[in-house]
Chain A
């Protein structure tokens, strides 16, 4: 049995500095939750596709900032109601994000673990579908490529 918090804590932001989980952990503090879950998406050096293995030196993210905040707020609010969450944090980084650093952080909390477990991938799928943020890969050979997945969101 799970009950949605009538006023879940919603926090979203788009930042141009490194994202540290510790800076946001307090936002999920709630004596009535039994689960905190965090997901950090980090920039990856190697991308293997059917045709090639690409080595990335760094990534650059761009946003339509006002709409990104609006979409993140919509997703966080919907996640809270759909998954009976007591709190949702979504923070996305823009600008250059060196390899191995977090480009996105999602935190959820709920009375019971299953809601938080289910909400984390749901939030990421929604984010990858609709939030107007784009990444540009800068490859080791000096070439660059904006990523515009036309077959739907990638991993």
Chain B
């Protein structure tokens, strides 16, 4: 299975990286590096990314009030933690529903039908 590059022009669906980040932040506030590790672990390496490009995404989510950033010192290291906002959760819920409908309809149409396909010779 070929890995998918997030946060880049090769990202297959625009906006999907933002939704993945929002989905991760549902569990707890996280800092950038933690988000990357969590994303890779949960996707079993399917999603690959230039880690630095996570930050423009995080700052955009913050600007759009979908996430809120806050500096905290944990274990002697000062990090910026991002938490999901109410607006972020509403956006995520709405987008998840849209994606589900789209995927169901899309797969229903594109899955090849065994035995029933009408094909002609080349």
Are A and B a genuine interacting pair, yes or no?
A: no
Give B residues with C-beta under 8 Å from A: none
